[in-house]
Amino acid sequence: MRRIDVPLFLAILWLIISVILLTLPGSDLPEESWLDGIYFDKWVHVGMFALLTFLWCWVMSKRKSVAVGLKTIFFEIALSAIVFGILMEFVQRYFVPGRSFDIGDMIADAAGALAGYFYSRWKFIKK
């Protein structure tokens, strides 16, 4: 019986959940005005992308056959997450009813990806 690769499973699962959450129609999202005051939406984006980046870095940290250094791979993962966040904003603008293009969300996505990158470097790369 083959053993499940837990980091890979979690990374793929979180990617799928992220795509679902980012493509929900605007009418399906809760509207609480007090949450706007604390920028709750932006904090959700930071958390989503930090976790996404961390999980994929975890996957790569377990690979024994990486040809280039983990710092480079982790940076490429973070950059991929940032590009993913930008692309999802365009998807929301053109394909998801009730959702809009928000540069603030892209900034929050990038901040989360960078947080996941730096945490992963601290956690997985031994000095």
Res 26 pLDDT > 90:
no
Inform me whether the pLDDT recorded for 76 exceeds 80: yes
> Is residue 96 classed as helix, strand or coil in its secondary structure?
coil
- Span 94-106, average pLDDT: 91
Give the C-alpha distances (Å, rounded to integers) separating 9 from 60, 75, 90: 13, 21, 27
Half-sphere exposure in the Cβ direction for 89 (13 Å, CA): 16
In the numeric block, which tokens belong to residue 112?
Answer: 């989360």
| pLDDT band at residue 37 using 50, 70 and 90 as cut-offs | low
User: Which pLDDT belongs to residue 100?
Assistant: 84
What is the band of 35 on the pLDDT scale with cuts at 50, 70, 90? Answer: low
Mean pLDDT of 14-41: 75
